[in-house]
Chain A
Amino acid sequence: VTDEDIAFADATALGEMIAKKKVSSTELTSLYLNRLERYGPGLNAVVTILHDRAMREAKAADAVIAHGLRNSALHGVPYGVKDLLAAIGGPTTWGAQPYRHQVFDYDATIVSRLKDAGAVLIAKLSMVELAGGFGYDQADASFTGPGRTPWNHDYWSGGSSSGPGAAVAAGLVGFAIGSETNGSILTPSAMCGVSGLRPTFGRVSRYGAMALMWSSDKLGPMARSARDTDVILRTIAGADPHDATAQTQDFPALRRRPRIGVFEDARGKSQAEVVKNFDVSLAVLREFADIEEGVKLPNLPYGAVITALLNGECASAFRDFIESGRARELRCEADRIGGYVLLATSAVDYVDAMRVRTKIDRDVRAAIEPYDAVAFPTLPTVAYPIGVNFNDVYPKAPGAIDPVTPANLAGIPSLSVPNGFGLYGLPTGLGFVANLWDEAKLTGIASEYQKRTTFHELRPKLA
């Protein structure tokens, strides 16, 4: 077993190695710290490496192991978080130059829970500035520079959880925590070829996380296997007195052959390789599940609703910042003026959007309800080239039905796993959505898929 083998093992395997004393948490942490320093800058994946905190937590984890104990399956496993989560030991920059020196003196709830589980926080990972709330329109929208996918450094790692996606794919951390308001876990997961899970709204406390859109912000795991996302989610889930929306709920599992729907027109005008990989994936799923094509999404104005809600909530969350004029310090030109536009959002439009959302909530869930999961290509294309405006990339592959926004508005969970490669050696993703609180069904189906495929085990060549 080489260092490279260890670095690319999934978190579940790493936890087992630590428990069996095949490797210590301290050794593993040193390995990942070295890889973060060596490969992180080339990918623009890292904001802050937490050397002192990491070694302190690793030694504490090893001390527990020495007594023949461990706190959880993640005990001693090093991980990173998107730099919108408060953590003692370094700045929390929200990916934005004006917040570069912001420091919190407490850990976000999710960081506290992982600490209690024995996991080792080693890095704050890069992200799109302010999680994209101001309307970025190109990859170069973070003070750390454009995130690069490890599969081809000329292409974006996705947003807004750019660093978590790249760091997991490059074997720089055991796993990572990202956030999603409207695609920010699924997109980098697909562009970097990792397994990413966006939980049900309310499954995970957001306390200590930057607020972008309170009514849609979610935190979730990004990892090297679907089974990891299950383990991590169970560790971070549950009610929290600091976040009124957080709930403790069961994880109902599948106990029969799964029934998987496919969205009508899921393939649409996607890149040919994306369509091909999706169809091959469905063939694999048919080995253990019943597949039913033609699931229809309700005809509702999803785009207008997310625009009104995000504009209103983001403008409120960042009102002081917008009115300070410091948006001029942001990296992306669109972000420098986007905040002012948000201020023009009408209160009536916001309330109208909340009223339409009630229908979305009801009707989208009803469309999904007959199935254990509904499948779709996570993205219609591979990762975008860096330096090209989003409006101008892949004009012949605009995609078609996209459940990302409807599912985010309805608060239902979603997961993406790698399912092959497309243009320029870049990965493609297989996405699923499921009913409320049915994350275990998603991870169960995806784990069965990964038992039959090896895309999640492939490693990018790093410079």
Chain B
Amino acid sequence: VPRSSPTRKAFLTAATAAGAGLALTVPAQAQTASPSPSLSPRAKVTPPPSASARDFALRMRRFDPQLSDKQIDSIARQVDQLGDLRRQLRPKGHDLANGDLPAPQFEVNE
């Protein structure tokens, strides 16, 4: 998932490529208002997945021994993309301070 998808469809492309599993998932996905452009995965020359991602993917065969090599490769690539979430969640200018609290159980309140 790119840090800042400039369009709805770019986000969808990235999210599905990352196995983001979006409930809707039509083009009407998230957009971010961030001006920083980023390339969709399809626009990149994709390197082979990292060794750690490939190890993770191979471990999934304990759940489904029938996973093909192609599926293992796809899982590994998506896991690599997930690894970029940290940077996306803390884009430049949007640092999280030590005291910034999470919403431990999301509720809506006035």
Number of A-B contacts (CB under 8 A): 274
If the complex has contacts A299-B33, A301-B91, A341-B19, are A352 and B86 also in contact, measured as CB distance less than 8 A? yes
A399 contacts which of B7, B14, B32, B71 (Cβ < 8 Å)?
B7
- Chain A CB within 10 Å — which of B17, B28, B32, B78 has the most? B28
Q: Is the CB of A297 within 8 A of B60?
A: no
How far apart are B21's CB and chain A's nearest CB, in angstroms? 4
Q: Is the CB of A381 within 8 A of B21?
A: no
Q: Is the CB of A380 within 8 A of B27?
A: yes
- Chain B CB within 10 Å — which of A200, A212, A213, A338 has the most? A338
Judge whether A378 is part of the interface by a CB distance below 8 angstroms. Answer: yes
Which B residues from 44 to 89 make CB contacts under 8 A with A?
Answer: 53, 56-57, 60, 63-67, 71, 74-75, 78-79, 82, 85-86, 88-89
Judge whether A305 is part of the interface by a CB distance below 8 angstroms. Answer: yes
User: Which residues does chain A contribute within 8 Å of B22, judged by CB atoms?
Assistant: 132, 135, 182-183, 306-307, 310
Q: Is the CB of B1 within 8 A of A351?
A: no
How far apart are A310's CB and chain B's nearest CB, in angstroms? 6
Complex CA gap A159/B16 in Å reads: 14
Which A residues from 322 to 357 make CB contacts under 8 A with B?
Answer: 322-325, 327-328, 334, 336-338, 340-346, 348-349, 351-357
If the complex has contacts A299-B33, A379-B26, are A305 and B89 also in contact, measured as CB distance less than 8 A? yes
Complex CA gap A81/B74 in Å reads: 35
Q: Is the CB of B29 within 8 A of A300?
A: no
Q: Is the CB of B28 within 8 A of A378?
A: yes
Complex CA gap A187/B75 in Å reads: 28
- Classify chain A: how many residues form its interface, as a range: 35 or more
How far apart are A357's CB and chain B's nearest CB, in angstroms? 5
Judge whether A296 is part of the interface by a CB distance below 8 angstroms. Answer: yes
Complex CA gap A187/B8 in Å reads: 13
User: Which residues does chain A contribute within 8 Å of B14, judged by CB atoms?
Assistant: 303
Stretch at the interface among A31-39, A234-242, A404-412: A404-412
Q: Is the CB of A183 within 8 A of B23?
A: yes
User: Which residues does chain A contribute within 8 Å of B17, judged by CB atoms?
Assistant: 391
Complex CA gap A381/B16 in Å reads: 19
User: Which residues does chain A contribute within 8 Å of B25, judged by CB atoms?
Assistant: 132, 135-137, 159-160, 182-183, 390
* Per-residue contact bits, chain A 67-91, to B (CB 8 Å; 1 contact, 0 not): 0000000000000000000000000
If the complex has contacts A268-B7, A340-B63, are A308 and B94 also in contact, measured as CB distance less than 8 A? no
Judge whether A103 is part of the interface by a CB distance below 8 angstroms. Answer: no
Q: Is the CB of B85 within 8 A of A381?
A: no
Q: Is the CB of B33 within 8 A of A398?
A: no
B8 contacts which of A135, A296, A398 (Cβ < 8 Å)?
A398
Q: Is the CB of B27 within 8 A of A379?
A: yes
Complex CA gap A343/B60 in Å reads: 10
User: Which residues does chain B contribute within 8 Å of A268, judged by CB atoms?
Assistant: 7
- Chain A CB within 10 Å — which of B16, B19, B78, B79 has the most? B19
Complex CA gap A379/B24 in Å reads: 12
User: Which residues does chain B contribute within 8 Å of A394, judged by CB atoms?
Assistant: 9, 27
Q: Is the CB of B86 within 8 A of A202?
A: no
Judge whether A421 is part of the interface by a CB distance below 8 angstroms. Answer: no
Closest-by-CB residue of B relative to A139 is B26
Complex CA gap A354/B85 in Å reads: 13
Closest-by-CB residue of B relative to A217 is B23
How far apart are B59's CB and chain A's nearest CB, in angstroms? 9
User: Which residues does chain B contribute within 8 Å of A160, judged by CB atoms?
Assistant: 23-25
Closest-by-CB residue of A relative to B9 is A398
How far apart are B23's CB and chain A's nearest CB, in angstroms? 3
- Chain B CB within 10 Å — which of A268, A343, A394 has the most? A343
How far apart are A281's CB and chain B's nearest CB, in angstroms? 17
Q: Is the CB of A402 within 8 A of B3?
A: no
Q: Is the CB of A399 within 8 A of B9?
A: yes
Complex CA gap A390/B24 in Å reads: 12
Q: Is the CB of B27 within 8 A of A307?
A: no
Q: Is the CB of A134 within 8 A of B21?
A: yes
Q: Can you list 27 A-B contacts with CB-CB less than 8 angstroms, sorted by A residue number?
A: A131-B23, A133-B21, A135-B25, A136-B25, A159-B26, A186-B24, A191-B26, A202-B107, A245-B107, A299-B33, A301-B94, A306-B30, A307-B85, A310-B22, A322-B63, A325-B63, A328-B64, A341-B79, A346-B82, A352-B86, A353-B89, A356-B94, A358-B100, A380-B8, A391-B16, A404-B28, A436-B108
Additional A-B contacts beyond A133-B21, A344-B82 (5; CB < 8 A): A303-B2, A344-B53, A352-B89, A398-B10, A436-B108
Binding site for A on B (CB under 8 A): 1-5, 7-35, 42, 53, 56-57, 60, 63-67, 71, 74-75, 78-79, 82, 85-86, 88-91, 93-94, 96, 100-108, 110
Binding site for B on A (CB under 8 A): 131-137, 158-160, 180-184, 186-187, 191, 200-202, 212-213, 215-216, 245, 268-269, 296-308, 310-311, 314, 322-325, 327-328, 334, 336-338, 340-346, 348-349, 351-359, 361, 378-381, 384, 390-391, 393-394, 398-402, 404-406, 411-412, 436
